[in-house]
Structure formats: C-alpha cells, structure tokens
C-alpha cells in the first residue's frame, strides 16, 4: 500500500503573546499582569513550540497542549483582542490571513492536529499493528477536519479553510483509513466479495473528495488528478475482486464482464502501481474469456449487480482526541475575567430594577392614589412653577415627534415603492417570457408577507400620529402664563392638608434614601469571593440572598399601604362633611374662594403638563422602536429585492440562452 497523501501543517507568524496578554490583563482585570508572569510565560512558550512542531507523537502532544491552553484563554479573555496570522499550505501559492480571534486560533490548531495525524499515519510499514495505527490516525485526522468544517461556521471571521476544502480533506482521510482496512483484508486473504465491498467504500470516499476538491479554492490540480487516479484504481480493484467472486459462484459471464470493467478503470489510473495491477487483470481476463468461450459459453450481462460498500471507518470525535481541561494545569486561577464583571453589571441593573419595582414605584403609586383622592380639596401639592425654557424644550420634543413621524412615513413610502417596482418588474417579465417559462413565484404571493408587515407599520404610524395630535392639543390647552408665574399663596391652615403634604415628602425622602442605600450596597465583593472559591459563574443564589438586605424597605412599603388607606378614609370623611348642595350660602362661599379657584386651575394645567410629558416620553420610545422596526424591515425588503433581481436575471439569461 502506497501513494497516500499527508496534509502539510499550516504555517504562522510569531506573536508576542507575553506582551499581548500583559496589555490585555492590565486593561481588563482587577489585577496587573505582574501577578501572572509565570502563566503568561507558559502560554507564550506553548505557542512558540506549537508553530513548528516535529512530525512525531511529541509534536502532536505539543499541539494538543497549546489547544488546551487556548480553551482556557477563551474563558478568561475577550475573543477579539489578539491578532494571529496563518498561511495556507495546500495551494501552490501560500496565502496568509490575519484575524483578531482566539476561537479562530483554536480551530486552526485543531486543523493542524488533523494535519499531524495524517502525517503520522504515513510513517508506517505494512505490519498489522502499523496498519491498525495508520487507520486510526487517518480517522483521527478526518475527525479534526470535520470539526473544523462544523465549528468554523460560528466564527465571525474568515474561515480556517473554505468548507469545500475541509470536506475534501475529511473524505480523503476516510478514504485512506478505509484503504488501510482494505489492505489488511487483502493480507489476511479474506473473501474476494468482502474485499470488493471494502474497495467500493474507498471509491465512494474518493468520489466525494473529488467532487468537493473541484469546488475548493485550495486543492491543487495535481492532487485532484491523484484523487481521480486513486478512484479509478480502486474501481478496478472492486471489479477485479468481484470478478474473482463470480468465478467462485461459477457465474463466468459476470466474471468476464467484471474483469473487462476492471481493465477499463485501471487504464484510467495514473498511479505507479497501475502497470503491475493491469498485467494481473489482463492475464486473469484472458484466461476467463478463453474458458467461457470454449467451455462455459455463458452470455455476458448488459449490467453487473450493484456492489454494496462496506463502511469500516468514521471520523473520530475530537473530544476523544484531546486532553480534558479538568486534568491539566489551570492557568490564571486568580484572574477575574470580564465575564464576572459583566455578571456584576447585570446584577446591579437587576438590583436597581428590584428597588424601582418594589420600593420607588409602589410609594409613588400610593402618593398618586392619595393625590387623586383629594381632587376636590383645595390642597396645593408640589406646586412648583417651571421656566419658559422648559416649555420650549417640550415644544421642541413635540416637533421631534412630528419629524420622526414624517421621516418614517417617507421611509415606508420608499419601501412600498421597492415592493411595487419588484411586482411590476415580475409582471413585465412574466408577460415577456410567458407564465409557463417564467417559473419564479408570483410577486402577489412572494410579496404578501412584506405588504402585510408594511400595512402593520403604517397602522402603527397612524396611531402615533393620532397620539401626537392629541398631545399637541393638550400642550396648547395649558395655561402657560399660569404655570410659569410665581406662586404666591397663604400657608394652608387645614391640618389634613399639612399632614398629607408631610407624608408625601417623607415618602420622597425614603425613596432617595433607599436608592442611595442600594447604590452603596453592591454585589461585586460577594461575586468575586464566590468566583475565587468555586471558579464557576453561577451566582443566582448569592444574588437572591443579597436582596434580603432590603427586606426592611419592603416592610416600610407595606406599612405605607395601611397608612394610605387611613388617610383616604379621612379624606372621604371630610368630603362627606362638606356643605351640601342645598346649603346655597356655604357652596357660594366655597365657589368664590379665589385660592381654591387658582389652585384648581394650576393643578389642572400641571396635570395636563404631566400628561404631555408622559406622552412625550412614551412617544420617544415608540418612535425609536418604530424607526428600528422600519430600518430592519427596509433591510429585509432590500435583501429580498436583491435576491429577486438575481433570480430574475439568472432566469432571463437562461431563457434567452434557450431561445438562441
């Protein structure tokens, strides 16, 4: 057995890993790089050893060690901070590629491990043990190339090799592994029918490799020719062995047909071993033809039975080839990675949300409910005038809403124009070439989902326009002179008014105190302590316990609910004791109270202003979301339109060519 191919290792430029890691640690870690000098040196040495390994088991171990280190680095550091450069070695011209990606480096090392296994598989003789080892190494190599093919799709960068090349190498390695198995069967004098099935599987693997190689941007023509020669050779082997098997079954017509087919394929092969094998086939065929012509007189069949391949090899799972990171020296144990900081940030946001939902919002809602229950009472509540500049800002915000509405309307019209033009183009081409020839789906069905989405977006836009108009009307109805003028009122003499005012101020103060307390009591120290002990990133239980610190604040909110109910009861009682409608003189005096009239007007204007502000805030969010949705929709429609244009061009060129 000879003429097997090994895959050359990729080559790379040196990287000053020590300097790059040091900068990365200083920029992203709590600690400085000086704390990890030993680990940094080990990483740098591991890569330096891995870039030019010997073709040996020791060289293979060096690659695996470096790969294990890369897996550790991926967990500790951002993926896109260090640049690596590797050169292709399959094509006649070496082409380099550079990427800022630890994951890309890791998959490239898997590729080189696959190359190393293929080269080690060649360093064998024809002994049974050596064949077994070569077969295993080729399967290991195939597993590595399959891993590259499957995992490089997740890369946000240039692939390690193109998919066609990775598939070619996978099938080539499987073909050569199967060839080892076949050769052992030949040595052990197994039945010819079994050897033929083993050989047919080799043919299938080489067929797949050739198909992918012809689409590859890296596989050289001399390699493709070699693969074709190997396929033709093993086609000849398959039919030669089937011919011998037919002889055992006394199917002499089939035997002659098989040997003739074998001779045809061996003539197509350019392998160095072809000539010797051709002589064997010719000799056997000559004898078989003579015996059949003078003795057996069996008719040669038009077709031979299909040969079912016997698959004996498969790609080895990469996980079984590499050492576990749990059983290797752990580097940067005390380093606090960016991931942990991200967790802290996320938990801080959740803590702020917790305080907002459990303390701030409930207290504000209770005060709002209390305030709402006092609408008929002449109580000045937080009546603070605003300056004219603030009103100008609100007007400017309103103008922005109108502008956003107009811009989105224009964008939707552009999208609709794209869809209409696509439909018109499709209709014209359909008329030009005929419905039977124009096989693309009609635009009426292909565009339906886009028109439906367009209609929905227009509906949302119309809703926003109606709300904007309503907000505009609200803003214009505000007594702007009133809310910008200085308030001059006598001090309230009503005890209930003063009591409620004091309660609401206390609640506002408590909200500020709790938010300040939350900002000072963060989870970061607990997470760092837990991470150093366990090395895991499951902090949910710690966060749950952390929040118990605010239990007293939740109790305060619950007590405030009871207080709110009592105050509302007092308000209702006072409302009940107000002068009745029949007490004309009392009601007259109440209506003519200028203080109450002034306060009611002021409250009403501020109420309108609050509604305007709420609408402005909601409107801003609404248009931001609608702008994003419209932009995404526009990109989607443009991609669809581009795809349809390409389909139309391709189909029209095809129809034009047929017409010629």
pLDDT of residue 379: 47
Q: Taking residues 176-186, report their average pLDDT.
A: 95
Structure tokens, 464: 């926003």
pLDDT band of residue 535 (cuts 50, 70, 90) is low
Give the dihedral of Cα atoms 578, 581, 587, 590; nearest 10 deg: 50
| CATH number of the CATH domain containing 423 | 1.20.140.50
Q: Could you list the residue range(s) of the whole structural domain that residue 45 is in?
A: 11-321
Residue 552 forms part of a structural domain: yes
Has residue 221 got a pLDDT over 60?
yes
Structure tokens, 214: 């012809």
Residue 3 forms part of a structural domain: no
Residue 452 forms part of a structural domain: yes
pLDDT of residue 594: 57
Has residue 492 got a pLDDT over 60?
no
pLDDT band of residue 104 (cuts 50, 70, 90) is very high
Domain count, the chain: 2
| CATH number of the CATH domain containing 170 | 1.25.40.280
d(CA 336, CA 206): 50
Same structural domain, 316 and 354 = no
pLDDT of residue 531: 78
Q: Taking residues 60-84, report their average pLDDT.
A: 91
Same structural domain, 128 and 275 = yes
pLDDT tens-digit series, residues 433-490: 888 888 888 888 888 898 899 999 999 999 989 999 999 888 888 888 877 877 665 4
pLDDT of residue 18: 92
Same structural domain, 311 and 361 = no
Percent of the chain with pLDDT over 70: 93
Q: Taking residues 344-363, report their average pLDDT.
A: 92
Q: Tell me the three-class secondary structure of 408-461, residue by residue.
A: HHHHHHHHHHHHHHHHHHHHHHHHHHCCCCCCCCCHHHHCHHHHHHHHHHHHHH
Same structural domain, 314 and 356 = no
Percent of the chain with pLDDT over 90: 57
pLDDT of residue 180: 95
pTM of the predicted protein model: 0.59
Residue 580 forms part of a structural domain: yes
Structure tokens, 82: 């260090």
Domain boundary at 303, 321, 339, which? 321
Same structural domain, 258 and 405 = no
pLDDT band of residue 494 (cuts 50, 70, 90) is low
pLDDT band of residue 220 (cuts 50, 70, 90) is very high
Residue 425 forms part of a structural domain: yes
pLDDT of residue 577: 75
Strand partners, 100: 83
Residue 385 forms part of a structural domain: yes
pLDDT of residue 493: 57
Q: What is the secondary structure of 546-594 as a DSSP string?
A: HGGGGHHHHHHHHHHHHHHHHHHHHHHHHHHTSPPTT-HHHHHHHHT-H
Query: What's the sign of the alpha-carbon dihedral 575, 576, 582, 585?
Result: negative
Same structural domain, 636 and 499 = yes
Same structural domain, 312 and 366 = no
Residue 96 forms part of a structural domain: yes
Has residue 376 got a pLDDT over 50?
no
Domain boundary at 302, 321, 340, which? 321
pLDDT of residue 570: 84
Lowest mean pLDDT segment, chosen from 222-231, 471-480, 534-543, 613-622 = 534-543
Same structural domain, 304 and 365 = no
Same structural domain, 389 and 307 = no
Q: Which residue has better confidence, 520 or 576?
A: 520
Same structural domain, 399 and 284 = no
pLDDT band of residue 595 (cuts 50, 70, 90) is low
Domain boundary at 321, 338, 369, which? 321
pLDDT of residue 382: 60
pLDDT mean across residues, the chain: 88
Q: Taking residues 126-145, report their average pLDDT.
A: 93
Cα atoms in the Cβ-side hemisphere of radius 13 Å centred on 482: 17
Same structural domain, 97 and 189 = yes
Look-up of token digits 């030669």:
240
Has residue 592 got a pLDDT over 50?
no
Lowest mean pLDDT segment, chosen from 47-61, 239-253, 465-479 = 465-479
Query: What's the sign of the alpha-carbon dihedral 130, 133, 134, 135?
Result: positive
pLDDT band of residue 551 (cuts 50, 70, 90) is very high
Look-up of token digits 């070619």:
168
d(CA 598, CA 380): 10
d(CA 529, CA 534): 9
Same structural domain, 386 and 309 = no
Q: Taking residues 407-419, report their average pLDDT.
A: 92
Residue 328 forms part of a structural domain: no
Residues 6+ apart with CB under 8 A from 236: 262, 263, 264, 265, 266, 269, 277, 281
Has residue 381 got a pLDDT over 60?
no
């Amino acid at each position: 057995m000879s003429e097997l191919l090994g895959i050359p290792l990729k080559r790379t430029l040196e990287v000053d890993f020590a300097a790059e890691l040091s900068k990365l640690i200083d920029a992203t870690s709590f600690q400085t790089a000086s704390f990890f000098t030993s680990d940094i040196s080990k990483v740098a040495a591991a890569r330096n050893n891995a870039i030019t390994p010997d073709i040996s088991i020791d060289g293979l171990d060096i690659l695996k060690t470096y790969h294990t280190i890369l897996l550790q680095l991926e967990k500790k550091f951002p993926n896109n901070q260090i640049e690596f450069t590797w050169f292709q070695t399959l094509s006649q011209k070496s082409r380099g590629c550079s990427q800022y990606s630890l994951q890309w480096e890791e998959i490239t090392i898997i590729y080189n491990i696959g190359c190393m296994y293929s080269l080690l598989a060649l360093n064998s003789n024809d002994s049974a043990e050596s064949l077994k080892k070569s077969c295993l190494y080729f399967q290991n190599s195939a597993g590595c190339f399959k891993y590259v093919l499957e995992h490089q799709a997740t890369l946000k960068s240039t692939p390690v090799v193109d998919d066609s090349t990775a598939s070619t190498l996978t099938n080539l390695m499987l073909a050569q592994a199967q060839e080892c198995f076949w050769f052992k069967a030949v040595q052990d004098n197994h039945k010819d029918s079994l050897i033929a099935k083993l050989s047919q599987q080799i043919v299938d693997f080489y067929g797949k490799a050739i198909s992918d190689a012809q689409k590859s941007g890296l596989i050289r023509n001399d390699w493709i020719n070699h693969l074709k020669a190997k396929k033709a050779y093993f086609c000849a082997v398959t039919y030669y062995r089937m011919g011998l098997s037919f002889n055992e079954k006394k199917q002499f017509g089939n035997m002659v047909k098989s040997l003739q087919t074998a001779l045809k394929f061996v003539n197509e092969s350019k392998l160095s071993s072809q000539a010797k094998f051709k002589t064997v086939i010719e000799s056997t065929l000559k004898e078989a033809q003579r015996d059949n012509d003078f003795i057996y007189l069996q008719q040669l069949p038009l077709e031979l039975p299909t040969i079912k391949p016997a698959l004996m090899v498969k790609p080895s799972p990469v996980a079984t080839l590499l050492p576990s990171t749990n059983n290797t020296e752990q580097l940067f144990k005390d380093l606090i990675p960016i991931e942990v900081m991200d967790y802290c940030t996320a938990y801080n946001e959740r803590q702020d949300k917790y305080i907002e939902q459990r303390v701030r919002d409930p207290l504000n809602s209770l005060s709002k409910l209390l305030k709402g229950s006092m609408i008929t009472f002449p109580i000045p509540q937080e009546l603070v005038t605003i300056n004219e500049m603030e009103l100008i800002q609100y007007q400017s915000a309103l103008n922005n809403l109108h502008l956003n509405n107009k811009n989105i309307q224009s964008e939707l019209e552009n999208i609709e124009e794209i869809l209409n033009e696509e439909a018109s183009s499709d209709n014209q081409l359909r008329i030009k070439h005929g419905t039977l020839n124009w096989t693309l789906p009609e635009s009426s069905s292909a565009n339906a989902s886009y028109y439906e989405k367009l209609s929905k977006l227009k509906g949302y836009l119309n809703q926003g326009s109606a709300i904007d108009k309503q907000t505009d009307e609200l803003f214009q109805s505000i007594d702007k002179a009133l809310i910008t003028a200085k308030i001059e009122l006598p001090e309230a003499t009503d005890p209930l008014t003063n009591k409620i005012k004091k309660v609401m101020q206390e609640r506002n103060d408590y909200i500020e105190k709790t938010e300040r307390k939350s900002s000072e009591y963060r989870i970061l120290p607990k997470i760092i302590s837990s991470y150093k002990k366990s090395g895991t990133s499951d902090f949910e239980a710690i966060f749950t316990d952390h929040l118990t610190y605010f239990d007293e604040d939740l109790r305060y909110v619950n007590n405030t609910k009871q207080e709110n109910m009592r105050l509302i009861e007092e308000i209702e009682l006072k409302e009940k004791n107000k002068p009745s409608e029949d007490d004309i003189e009392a009601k007259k005096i109440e209506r003519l109270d200028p203080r109450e009239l002034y306060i009611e007007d002021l409250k009403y204007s501020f109420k309108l202003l609050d509604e305007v502000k709420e609408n402005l805030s909601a409107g801003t969010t609404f248009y931001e979301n609608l702008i994003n949705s419209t932009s995404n929709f526009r990109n989607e429609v443009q991609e669809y339109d581009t795809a349809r244009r390409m389909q139309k061009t391709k189909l029209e060129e095809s129809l034009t060519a047929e017409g010629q």
